[in-house]
Amino acid sequence: MKIGILCYPTFGGSGVVATELGKALAEKGHQIHFITYSQPVRLEHFSENVSYHEVSVADYPLFEYAPYETALTSKLVDVALFEKLDLVHVHYAIPHASVAYMAKQILKEQGMHAPFVTTLHGTDITLVGKNPSYSPVVTFAINQSDAVTSVSKSLSDETYSFFKINRKIEVIPNFIDLTRFSKQRKEHFRKAIAPENEKLIVHASNFRAVKRVGDVVKVFSKIVEKIPSKLILIGDGPERVNIERECRESKFCDQIRFLGKQEAVEEILSVCDLFVLPSETESFGLAALEAMACQVPVITTNTGGSPELNVQGITGFMSNVGDVDDMAKNAIFILEDEDRLKKFKKHALEHARTYDIKFIMPRYEKVYEEVLKIK
């Protein structure tokens, strides 16, 4: 199949899923065309079946806001016609689903049928999509999609309960490439960060308010009182400056390292003992799955799609949002006993294996096949 993919190219779950899925489809022989405003972060290497088409937005003094959607639609139309795309897969509803709808109408006028699949990722529904500035368009574009998927049952339930949706939403969870995300021998990293063999606690995110990174630090400050440990914070985003300020003023400053954005997250995860993701909401929690694949148990909240991924008492623990005492208590329980820690690590990996891209990618292919049957 010839598939156009629209996504956000930056660090972030939806872009990662879009890029990894596109790469895997390409490996299987499909021709993949990424259309976005900069090179997707995980699209590092040349691949015979992958092309990247950059969208440039022509500016004009009249524009207070340059019309990215118009430029993206035009680029999609151009690529679809020239490359003879069979279908378009859009990741993150805003603005990609309405862009694909518009392109479909333009292409129809030119005698081409270009169906589109919309994958809902989370904040496009739970935070941004609900905003009245966007919700009518999001509702319309979801209903007009030729197929809709969501990354968890919780997200699909939330979509049905908030928007007037008159069509099926298929749940296809996030996935993991276990050839990349697996425990690697990086003992020298561990030595450098934790020379006294302290336990390593880790968090990775885009440091947006929804991630509640402040809670990670609170949980860590309780753990470190009982168990010698270090905290590694991976990623960057709007809240980082505040968290960094707080940490600099805390007595644990020396035990906390901010690593910023990292390409090879799996190398760092490989030496860690516990991942903390205390988000306000998390439609799936890809970062937690990546940790589990590297044999790192997880402490998450019990909201959104987290209970679909994190098995209470087996792969880690879940607590109510903001309940840092409970999170710390559970973290200490996992870390204080070596045998118990080993068990949690083993179970985290076993569970992560069920999300192997090998099992999940064919489910998207099936959706594409269904869509192509409908004319």
The residue from 3, 4, 5, 14 that contacts ligand GMT (CB under 6 A) is 14
CA atoms in the 13 A half-sphere facing the CB of 172: 30
**Least distance CB 58 / ligand GMT (angstroms):** 27
Can you say whether residue 316 is alpha, beta or left, with left for phi > 0 and alpha for psi between -120 and 50 degrees? Answer: left
DSSP 302: S
**Least distance CB 306 / ligand GMT (angstroms):** 8
| Segment lying near ligand GMT (by CB under 6 A), choices 8-16, 93-101, 241-249, 343-351 | 8-16
Q: Beta-strand (E) ranges in 290-364?
A: 298-301, 316-319
Which residue, 9 or 31, is less far from ligand GMT as judged by CB?
9
- Reference 277, options 267, 291, 269, 288; nearest CA is 288
Which residue, 14 or 319, is less far from ligand GMT as judged by CB?
14
The residue from 123, 255, 301, 315 that contacts ligand GMT (CB under 6 A) is 123
- Reference 237, options 202, 210, 268; nearest CA is 210
Q: Beta-strand (E) ranges in the chain?
A: 2-6, 31-36, 50-54, 87-91, 116-120, 147-150, 169-171, 199-204, 229-234, 256-260, 274-277, 298-301, 316-319
| Residues 189-218 within binding reach of ligand GMT (CB under 6 A) | 206, 208, 210
Is 235 one of the binding residues for ligand GMT (CB under 6 A)?
Answer: no
Which residue, 190 or 203, is less far from ligand GMT as judged by CB?
203
Is 12 one of the binding residues for ligand GMT (CB under 6 A)?
Answer: yes
**Least distance CB 126 / ligand GMT (angstroms):** 6
Is 95 one of the binding residues for ligand GMT (CB under 6 A)?
Answer: no
**Least distance CB 127 / ligand GMT (angstroms):** 7
| Residues 270-289 within binding reach of ligand GMT (CB under 6 A) | 279, 281-286
Distances (CA, A) of 263 to 46, 72, 155: 17, 27, 28
- Structural element, H or E, at residue 101: helix 93-109
Which residues are near ligand GMT by CB under 6 A? Answer: 12-15, 17, 92, 121-123, 126, 151, 174, 206, 208, 210, 279, 281-286
